[in-house]
Every structure is written in C-alpha cells, then in structure tokens.
C-alpha cells in the first residue's frame, strides 16, 4: 500500500431508530464527520427516523505514522429548518487502530453514544471505515459556511448506479441493490466473505447457510503494541443471532438455545447399534463382523467382533454437513480377514430423505434394515441403525466419531478416543498438617549413645523432614509443622519414619508409623486438634525374646489433620480461577454464570509435517475452577472450526478464565513414544472486567515467547458472556477477603506456598493424565503457569517499567507544582493561590472537594471505559526488543545447564534471589495499578461502587464538621488491640479485588 496516497474512506450507510427531536415525532438527520482536522457533512434526510444515506467521503491522512493516535468522530444532528440550527442526536468515535484495508472492511452498526452526562440518545449508525491508496480517488470537498445552510436532500431516493468514484463530486454513492423502505432498514448490505469468491446476502432469511463473519478490528487507543498483536472485535452470526457491539440482534430463524454462543453446525449422525442373523462367511461357519460408514471421501469404521453373527457395537458417527460432497450414505458390513476382508452386505440412504432432529426432541429410534448385496438384492442378515441430521447440541455429539477430527493414520472409532471433546473435573485438594511434637523411648542401634534423631514424613512423592535434634536423652522434642497436599479419593498414606543420623551420609531407621488419610480428622477452622501417641513399628523383624524383655515400645507424639479452611493454590496467584476453601460447607452460593463459546482459530502456525506439507492437529483446553474442558481435535487443519460451548458457575469475580490451544502429538505410532503436546498459545480473561449480560466476541492473537523472540502463532476466536444470578451477593463479595479466613488467621510462608503449589500442580496433572483421553502433564503445567516464579530479566524490566508507569501521575503533579512555584503561568499560579487560601480558611471543604473531584473523574471516564477484555501486551511485557542473551537466560533450565560448576552455583543463587525481587516489584506495581483502576471502569462494578461511595462520602463530609471527622479518624487509627480484627477490613478487601495489568503480562 503506497504511503503517500493513503486516504481514509468512510461510507455513511444508514441510521436506525433515532430519537425524534422536531416535536412531531420525527427528525431531519444529517451526519458530520471529523478526522485529522478535516470536516465533512452528509445530506439531510427529512422526516426520517431510519435514514439511509449511502454516501462516501475520503479524508487525507497527513501522517500515517500517527494514524493509531487519531480518532474518527461521527456526529448525527437534527436539522431545524425554522432557525437553521441543529440538535444533537448521538455520536460515534472510532479509534485509528481499528482502521482496516478496503478489502477487509464491512458495514458495522455502532450504538450511538452520549455527548455528555445528561444527553439523551438512542439508535445506531451504520458506517464502513477503511484505508485505501487508490490514486484515482481524491479527497472530498470540505464543508463551507455557505453550503451549511443549503445542504438538503431530495425526499425521494434516486436510483443508485454502479460504483464509480467521481473525483469532482462531493458525495460518492456506494452501490447497493434498491429495496423498499422496510427492506432497507431490516437487511444489511451484502458483504464479501473471506475464503470465498462470491458474495452473499448477510441476512439469514435470504442466505441458505449462516455466513462466516468478517473480522472487525476495534482496538483500544491505549494499546501501543502492533495492530497484528492486538485484540480484534468481531461481529459473528451465532446461534442466538448476529452479535453487534456486544448485543445479540436476533432474527426470526435465530432462537436462543443451549448453544447460542457458537455458530450452528449441522452433522449427519449415524448410530450403528447391532446386527442379527448375519450370514457365515468363513469355512468354520462364522464371521468377524465390523461396519464401515461411508459418505464421499469420509469413512468411519467400528471395531470388529470375533466369531459373532449377532454383534453389538452401539457407536455413533458424525459427518460434518458442510464438508460432505456426496448425496448417498452407505453403511457396509464386512468380515475381518487376514488377507482381504469379505463383503457381507450394505444399507444405502439418500441424504435428501434423512430426517432433521432438534433437541429437546427425544433421540431418534433405531430401526432394523435388511442388508443388500452388491447387485442390490436382499440377503440374510439385518442391521439396526438410526440416521438423522442434527447440530452440536445433540447429546450424541460429544461421544461420536467425527469426520473433521478423523486421523488419516487410523479412522476407526477406537482411535477417536484420543480426539474427542471431554469435560474433566480436577480432584478436590486438601492441605495435610502434621505437627511432630516429640518422641519417647527411642532405641538406637548403639545403646551407648543418644540418638541424633529427626522425622521424615512422606505422602506419595512428597517428602518433608524435621530438623535433627541432638538431645541428651532418648525423648527428643521437635514441635515442627510439616505440610503436604493430598487429593480425594486418598490413595497414599502418611508415612512417618524416625531416623538416627549415625554418621554423615549414613542414617538408620528407628521406627515407622503409617497413618491412612481417610482416618485423619478434618477441620474447617483453626480449632485445636487433639494430639495422639503412635507406636513406632520396627522396620525389620525382631527376636521374640527381645520383644518380651522390652517393657515399653518407642512412641511418636503427633497432631495430624486435614485443613479444609484453606484454598489449595494449584495455579499462579495472579491468574487464580477459584478462591473457595476445600471444605464444601464453607462455600457460598454462586453469583453468576460464565458461558464460553470456542468458535474457531485462523492462521495457525504449522507444528508438524505430514505428506510433505506443514499442518497441525489442534484442540483447545479451557480451565476455570475445578472444571477443565477439552474440545475435539481437528486433524490436519490450520483454520479449525470448533464451535463448542461450555458453562461454569462463578463464585468470585476476581478470578480468571484460561483458554489454551495445543497440537495433539499422540496420533499415530509416534504418539506412543511419549511425545509432548505442543503449546500454540493461550488467552486469559478476568471475570471482573466483563460487563453483565454483554456478549464479547473477539479474536485473540496467540502470542508465545520463543528463544528467538515473541511470535504470533495464529488467532483464537471466542464468544463470552457473564450473567449475574445474584447482584446483591456479587456486591457483597467485593467486601469479603480474597482468600478464605484461614489464610489470614494461620498464614503460610512464601516458601511453603511455593512448595505446596508445586505439589498441587503435580497431583492435578497426575490425576487428569489418568483420564481418557488424558489431559497431559505439559498441558496442565502450561495452563497453570507452573514456571511463572522463575527468574527472567525481561519480566524484571517489565515490572520495573510498570512501576514507573504507576508513578507517572505523581511525577506529573510534582512537575506541575514546580511550575506553579516558578510562576511559569501567572494566571494558573494566582488561581492556585486563591484555591489554597480558600481551603486553608475552610478546611472542612478539603475532603469533600477531593471525593467530589474523584467522583467527577470517575463519571467522566465512564465514556472512555474499556469495551473489551484485557489481553497479553508485548509492549508491557518488554517482549518486542528483548536481547537474545536475556532470552537465552530465560529459556535456560533451572538449575542452569551452563558450566563451570562454580558459575552454575552462583548463577542459580542469583536467579533465585532475583526471582523474589521480581515478584515483590510486580506486587508493588499491582497495588499502584489497582489505585488507577478505581476510576478507570476496568472493573465496572467496582468503579460503580467506588464512585457511589465518593458521592456519599462527599455529602457526608460536607455536612459533618471537619474536627469531628479528624477526631474519629485519629481515634480509629489508634484504637485498642482488642477492637482490631485479624481478618482484613472491608476497604482492604475491596482494594485487593481490583484488577491490575497482570492480565496483560506475557
């Protein structure tokens, strides 16, 4: 695209449902466009609340390098003919980062925005905005003062000719088919669909199939990273209707249902139930039957059943209707043989005769069909089948064999177990607290010396040790707490071994205790657990006579419990998807429902080579709370369509949904060798940043950091909706502690939390790896950010610049105050002096003024509130210009694989310490960013609460004497410890729930 000839084209298409302003129930609307110091104006449509313009304007782009900083503003006014004035009807602002080339542009209907707090607007404005470098196009003529009073349109619309750009004309009309007035308001114009050569009408009533929507790039002006890495808002046609600006515009054919956040896909379902009286094919008088289901180039195969003339399969096959290239379905029964399989018979179906089944209709009843031979004659044997056409809402869909997920290596139904969509539930995790108090009557191997004893505790692969005690008797005292993570159902026992350190590197076992975790007491608070004495068992056989001589056996004094009052952290604390305690009796009712539609992925990077070309076998994994979901694997496709919808209960808005895309490396013979599933990218979405009831449809770039730098691996298209079930409970949650009460009453150390989190991730990965199909360990670790605590120079720099960004406002205030002191602007300085003297004279106005000022800032920022979830930002993550040596350090193993040994030791120590510093700096930055988010509407509910509080506080402080407020505040700050609580206060709990820019960290 030629930079020198760049122009911004704006097609003003139409408006819908405008507000009447002429006193007669109508309006005479016209549009004014503002961009880069240029202003253009459309014609006036007399007495029409649904005007249609179809006019095109071209703006000059003075400096393409600052295009992302510019904004296109479109204002709609009502023309008052009597006074030659105008009345405001609404406006639309479009950021420069959302401008796309002309081939990618589509018409979008933008909801009209208010100009001020008290503005009253309604309706939508249809615009098509694009960038073009066509040298034959000249910019439009600006509006002159003389023209402003004469720009009126004809009341009758003239026919529109084919689209030819007229450089001398002030208006260029966009080609649209002529319709009557009702059609013009109800039917959007035709759009060109990507990957197809023809044009289709965008209206569902005219189109034979739902149309894949085109991406619409609408980025935030605060996003400073490349446009290719930014979020893109889309307007897809889903099961509930067309999504425009977060709202679902329903059509007659689009009704809300279970799968209203995904595109409706039709499948041909074939249920092969069983057969009877099959003819014998072998000399032995039997056969080994199996069934092939064939349509076009697709073939699904059941497993064969040996020597059975009445086999039962009960298998469902699903063929994607949009990829079928045949009109006949054949179900063939064959006999498995060593050399060549014998042909038994078949049943043929005409697809035009297959019935449609729509849930909640009952499942289609299978029928017996007589088999035919190759000549079409009936033979002995019958096959029970059910054939119907349904959608992904069909209950047979999850367990069916899918044609678009069929591996070319093995197309049998048995192989589809590795590629089916599944829902997993992570095990319920408990903290095991073992307080080792003391031992009694220890008997070492050498009775002439006192034991140098310690206790080793073990649950599965988790091993903890107490400190060795060199006591001057046989009764050592430790009084140490050892912590473990255990998962229900409990499979491993708690094993405690008392060992004696005889010499350096040589330990001898004195005795052992085995405690089944099912027998351990459970608690949900910090009540005292009664201690017990356990007899130590000898690890080896002892002479019976010796046992008779010993009057007492060695004992171990313990307090063991399962702590259910904690939340077991099994993921990064910045991206927690669940904050509930283990004990179910402490759970609160859910506050809402989160619905996720995984639509499709585009432009995926090839992860493997097959038949000489790059390809990928991808699936998506979504994690929220205890529920993990996995879509079906789409084989050999870089533009896979999943269209699967899932639902979660939400208990806390300060949680994060994580969606990852992976390449399935387990298909075929190579998968059996333990190849790891390759990560393609992931998306994180914080629930508190979602407005209630709005449908978010965005295309998320999959950004992954490689040793060579940041790389875009494709884009993932998602649809999201958060629905609130209890608004009062949701507001109450903002005043509650972020974690359960036990985390504050008996907190863990940072080292303990890191160790326990590592063990929890291992347990979850082990359990999910035993499912069918397994959710592999590398997937669980990637979704849980298991290595987020390791040292990285890049992350440290990113956190430092985040911290600097937090204090940018403070630095600006300091510079402004320095300018005031230096009288650089005398007028401003005099006004500041007057304000200062007034506040000194009336100190009771200070706090009301501050709170009222913050209230006004919050209300003002409401119009600029973010309209999309945050996403990974390469600029904030310092991933754009990172040094190769820093990347080599970040991707180095821990411990390091570099030599020599001395450097390795020091290097590991440095990385460990620096990792702690990195975390502290990030936490400081998070607190500052939460202060900024108070009035930024990043969390719309929290900002609404705070803005309301500011208004109430301003009113209360205005009528209350300042001396009373100061006295109460001082007394409260210096209150007696008896009146203090160990649980954080309501303001602290509210503050900790605010979102920070951690969601944008890569």
What is the tens place of the pLDDT at every residue in 593-608? 999 999 999 989 998 8
Sequence-distant (6+) residues with CB within 8 A of 521 are 529, 560, 561, 562
Q: Is the peptide bond prior to 974 cis by the omega test (within 30 degrees of 0)? A: no
Q: Which two tokens stand for residue 285?
A: 């008088």
Adjacency order of strands within the sheet including 678-686: 422-425, 627-630, 618-624, 656-663, 678-686
pLDDT confidence of residue 905: 66
Q: For 347-360, what is each residue's pLDDT tens digit?
A: 999 888 899 887 77
Strands (E) in 81-210, as ranges, are 85-95, 108-111, 124-132, 172-173, 191-192, 199-200
Out of 466-470, 593-597, 755-759, 898-902, least confident range: 898-902
Q: Residue 386: beta bridge partners?
A: 271
Q: What are phi and psi of 26, to 5 degrees?
A: -145, -175
pLDDT confidence of residue 416: 64
The model's confidence at residue 10, banded by pLDDT at 50, 70 and 90, is very high
Residue 679 host element (H or E) = strand 678-686
What is the DSSP annotation of 626-660? TEEEEPPPB-S-SS-EEEEEEEEEES-SS-EEEEE
Q: Which is higher by pLDDT, 717 or 232?
A: 717
Cα–Cα dist 191/199, whole Å: 6
Sequence-distant (6+) residues with CB within 8 A of 700 are 231, 683, 715, 716, 717, 718, 871
Contact, 335 vs 289, CB < 8 A?
A: yes
- DSSP for residue 539: S
pLDDT confidence of residue 974: 65
The arithmetic mean of pLDDT across residues 811-819, rounded, is 86
Q: For 125-157, what is each residue's pLDDT tens digit?
A: 999 999 888 878 877 766 654 444 444 443 333
The arithmetic mean of pLDDT across residues 834-860, rounded, is 85
Beta-sheet pairing, 29-35 with 38-41:
antiparallel
Contact, 94 vs 126, CB < 8 A?
A: no
Please determine, for residue 986, whether its predicted confidence score (pLDDT) is greater than 80: yes
Q: For 519-533, what is each residue's pLDDT tens digit?
A: 999 998 888 889 999
pLDDT confidence of residue 593: 94
The model's confidence at residue 558, banded by pLDDT at 50, 70 and 90, is very high
pLDDT confidence of residue 980: 66
Contact, 345 vs 369, CB < 8 A?
A: no
pLDDT confidence of residue 561: 94
Q: For 912-935, what is each residue's pLDDT tens digit?
A: 778 878 888 888 889 889 998 999
Cα–Cα dist 858/947, whole Å: 6
Beta-sheet pairing, 378-391 with 506-515:
unpaired
pTM of the predicted structure, to 2 decimals: 0.68
pLDDT confidence of residue 280: 83
Cα–Cα dist 760/34, whole Å: 56
Q: What are phi and psi of 154, to 5 degrees?
A: -75, 145
Q: What are phi and psi of 189, to 5 degrees?
A: -70, 170
Return the percentage of the chain with pLDDT > 90, whole number: 34
Sequence-distant (6+) residues with CB within 8 A of 408 are 610, 635, 636
Cα–Cα dist 274/315, whole Å: 9
- The Cα-based distances of 359 to 35, 363, 420, 929 in angstroms read 51, 8, 21, 47
The model's confidence at residue 193, banded by pLDDT at 50, 70 and 90, is very low
The arithmetic mean of pLDDT across residues 713-720, rounded, is 94
At what angle are helices 808-821 and 826-841 packed, to 10 degrees? 100
The arithmetic mean of pLDDT across residues 654-675, rounded, is 79
Report the candidate in 399, 406, 343 with the shortest Cα–Cα distance to residue 371: 343
The arithmetic mean of pLDDT across residues 505-512, rounded, is 85
Contact, 909 vs 738, CB < 8 A?
A: no
Q: For 226-274, what is each residue's pLDDT tens digit?
A: 777 888 888 888 887 888 878 887 755 444 456 788 888 888 999 999 9
What is the DSSP annotation of 201-248? -SSTTT-SSPPPPPEE----TT--S-GGGS-EEE--EETTEEEETTEE
Please determine, for residue 300, whether its predicted confidence score (pLDDT) is greater than 80: yes
SS3 of the chain: helix, strand, coil, percent, to 5:
25, 30, 45
Please determine, for residue 881, whether its predicted confidence score (pLDDT) is greater than 90: no
Q: Give the Cα-Cα-Cα angle 445, 448, 452 (nearest 5 degrees).
A: 65
3-state secondary structure (DSSP) of residue 317: strand
pLDDT confidence of residue 415: 54
Q: Which is higher by pLDDT, 210 or 908?
A: 908
Cα–Cα dist 643/761, whole Å: 29
Q: What are phi and psi of 231, to 5 degrees?
A: -75, 145
pLDDT confidence of residue 215: 35
């Amino acid at each position: 695209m030629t930079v020198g000839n760049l122009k911004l084209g704006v097609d003003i298409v139409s408006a819908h449902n405008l507000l009447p302003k002429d006193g007669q129930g109508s309006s005479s609307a016209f549009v004014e466009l503002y961009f880069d110091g240029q202003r253009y104006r459309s014609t006036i449509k007399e007495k029409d609340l649904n005007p249609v313009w179809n006019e095109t304007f071209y703006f000059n782009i003075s400096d393409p390098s600052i295009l992302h900083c510019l904004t296109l503003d479109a204002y709609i006014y009502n023309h008052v003919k009597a006074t030659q004035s105008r009345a405001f009807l609404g406006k639309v602002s479009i950021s420069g980062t959302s401008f796309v080339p002309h081939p990618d542009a589509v018409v979008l209907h933008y909801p009209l925005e208010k100009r001020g707090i008290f503005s009253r607007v309604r309706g939508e404005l249809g615009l098509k905005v694009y960038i073009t470098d066509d040298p034959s196009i000249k910019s439009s003529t600006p509006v002159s003062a003389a023209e402003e009073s004469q720009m009126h349109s004809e009341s009758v619309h003239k026919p529109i000719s084919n689209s030819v750009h007229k450089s001398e004309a002030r208006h260029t009309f966009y080609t649209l088919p002529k319709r009557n007035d009702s059609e013009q308001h109800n039917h959007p114009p035709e759009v060109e669909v990507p990957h197809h050569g023809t044009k289709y009408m965008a209206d569902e009533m005219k189109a034979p199939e739902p149309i894949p929507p085109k991406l619409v790039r609408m980025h935030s002006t605060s996003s400073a990273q490349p446009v290719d890495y930014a979020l893109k808002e889309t307007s897809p046609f889903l099961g509930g209707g067309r999504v425009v600006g977060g709202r679902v515009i329903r059509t007659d054919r689009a009704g809300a249902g279970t799968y209203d956040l995904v595109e409706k896909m039709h499948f041909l379902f074939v249920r092969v139930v069983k057969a009877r009286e099959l003819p014998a094919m072998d000399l032995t008088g039997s056969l080994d039957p199996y069934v092939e289901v064939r349509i076009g180039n697709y073939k699904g195969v059941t497993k064969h059943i040996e020597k059975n003339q009445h086999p039962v399969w009960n298998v469902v096959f699903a063929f994607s209707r949009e990829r079928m290239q045949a009109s006949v379905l054949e179900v063939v029964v064959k006999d498995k043989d060593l050399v060549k399989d014998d042909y038994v018979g078949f049943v043929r179906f005409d697809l035009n005769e297959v019935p449609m089944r729509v849930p909640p209709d009952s499942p289609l009843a299978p029928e017996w069909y007589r088999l035919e031979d190759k000549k079409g004659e009936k033979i002995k044997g019958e096959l029970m089948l059910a054939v119907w056409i349904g959608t992904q809402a069909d209950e047979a869909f999850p367990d069916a064999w899918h044609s678009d997920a069929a591996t070319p290596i093995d197309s049998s139904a048995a192989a589809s177990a590795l590629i089916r969509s599944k829902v997993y539930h992570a095990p319920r995790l408990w903290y095991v607290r073992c307080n080792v108090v003391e031992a009694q009557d220890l008997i070492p191997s050498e009775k002439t010396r006192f034991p140098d004893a310690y206790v080793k505790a073990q649950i599965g692969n988790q091993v903890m040790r107490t400190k060795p005690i060199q006591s001057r008797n046989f009764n050592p005292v430790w009084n140490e707490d050892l912590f473990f993570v255990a998962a229900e159902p409990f499979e491993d026992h708690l094993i405690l071994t008392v060992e004696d350190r005889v010499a350096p590197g040589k330990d001898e076992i004195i005795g052992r205790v085995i405690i089944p975790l099912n027998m351990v007491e459970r608690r949900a608070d910090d009540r005292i657990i009664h201690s017990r004495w356990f007899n130590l068992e000898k690890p080896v056989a002892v002479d019976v006579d010796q046992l008779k001589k010993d009057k007492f056996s060695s004992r171990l004094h313990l307090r063991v419990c399962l702590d259910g009052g904690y939340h077991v952290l099994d993921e990064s604390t910045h991206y927690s998807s669940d904050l509930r305690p283990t004990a179910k009796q402490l759970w609160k009712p859910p506050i809402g429902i989160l619905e996720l539609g995984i639509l499709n992925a585009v432009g995926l990077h090839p992860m493997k080579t097959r038949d000489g070309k790059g390809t990928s076998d991808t699936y998506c994994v979504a994690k929220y709370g205890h529920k993990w979901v996995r879509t079906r694997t789409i084989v050999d496709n870089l533009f896979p369509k999943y269209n699967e919808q899932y639902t979660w209960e939400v208990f806390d808005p300060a949680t994060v949904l994580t969606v990852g895309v992976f390449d399935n490396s387990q298909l075929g013979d190579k998968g059996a060798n333990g190849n790891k599933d390759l990560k393609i990218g992931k998306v994180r979405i914080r629930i508190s940043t979602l407005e209630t009831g709005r449908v978010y449809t965005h295309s998320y770039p999959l950004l992954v950091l490689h040793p060579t730098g940041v790389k875009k691996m494709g884009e993932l298209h998602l649809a999201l909706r958060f629905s609130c079930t209890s608004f009062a409970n949701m507001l109450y949650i903002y005043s509650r502690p972020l974690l359960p009460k036990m985390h504050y009453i008996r907190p863990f150390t940072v080292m303990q939390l890191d160790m326990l989190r590592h063990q929890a991730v291992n347990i979850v990965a082990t359990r999910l790896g035993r499912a069918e199909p397994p959710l592999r360990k590398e997937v669980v670790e990637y979704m849980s950010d298991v290595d987020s605590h390791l040292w990285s120079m890049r992350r440290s720099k990113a956190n430092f610049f985040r911290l600097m960004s937090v204090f940018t406002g403070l630095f600006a205030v300091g510079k402004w105050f320095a300018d005031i002191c230096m009288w650089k602007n005398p007028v401003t300085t005099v006004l500041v002096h007057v304000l200062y003297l007034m506040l000194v004279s009336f100190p009771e106005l200070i706090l009301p003024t501050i709170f009222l000022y913050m209230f006004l800032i919050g209300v003002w920022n409401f119009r600029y509130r973010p309209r999309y979830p945050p996403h990974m930002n390469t600029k904030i993550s310092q991933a754009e210009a990172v040094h190769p040596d820093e990347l080599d350090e970040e991707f180095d193993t821990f411990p390091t694989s570099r030599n020599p040994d001395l450097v390795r030791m020091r290097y590991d120590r440095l990385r460990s310490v620096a990792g702690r510093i990195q975390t502290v700096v990030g936490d400081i930055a998070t607190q500052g960013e939460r202060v900024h988010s108070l009035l930024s509407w990043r969390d719309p509910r929290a900002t609404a609460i705070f803005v309301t509080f500011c208004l109430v506080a301003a009113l209360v402080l205005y009528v209350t004497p300042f001396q009373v407020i100061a006295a109460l505040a001082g007394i409260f700050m210096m209150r007696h410890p008896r009146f203090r609580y160990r649980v954080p206060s309501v303001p602290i709990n509210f503050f900790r729930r605010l979102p920070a820019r951690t969601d944008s960290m890569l």
